[in-house]
Amino acid sequence: MFILLSYDIADSPERLRKVAKICENYGVRVQKSVFELDISMANFVQLKAELSRLVDRNADTIRFYRLGKNYKNQIEVIGKREDIELSQDNSIIL
């Protein structure tokens, strides 16, 4: 499944770094706080559990946008674009 993840971590550089590191283990950073993830449902559940243990629910926000299997038809980019193809085994093909 393809997911666009974005986050806003309030006033905690340490928590911000930890959230980013977790997200880097599951997908590709496309902007400072935005990641593209092509992951299985099991990995998605694991990712959400890891992030849930870390975030401050009263100050932080993490959003998951599920784009489905035909995600390539759903993405448009204006400006610099690096073509990134994600695979199920989380390898990156440029």
Query: Tokens 């997908």 correspond to what residue?
Result: 27
Range 21-48 average pLDDT: 95
Q: Which amino acid is at 65?
A: Y
The residue segments making up the domain with residue 8 are 2-71+80-93
pTM recorded for the entire structure: 0.78
CB 58 within 8 A of CB 22: no
**CATH number of the domain that 42 lies in?**
3.30.70.240
Is the pLDDT at 12 greater than 80? The verdict is: yes
What's the total number of domains in the chain? 1
CA–CA separation, 19 and 9 (whole Å): 8
Q: What is the pLDDT of residue 91?
A: 43
CB 44 within 8 A of CB 50: no
Of 39, 42, 46, the residue nearest 71 (C-alpha): 39
| Confidence at 3, pLDDT banded by 50, 70, 90 | very high
Higher pLDDT, 83 or 22: 22
Higher pLDDT, 27 or 76: 27
* Structure confidence by residue, pLDDT tens digits, 37-93: 999 999 999 999 999 999 999 999 999 999 877 777 777 777 776 665 655 554 433
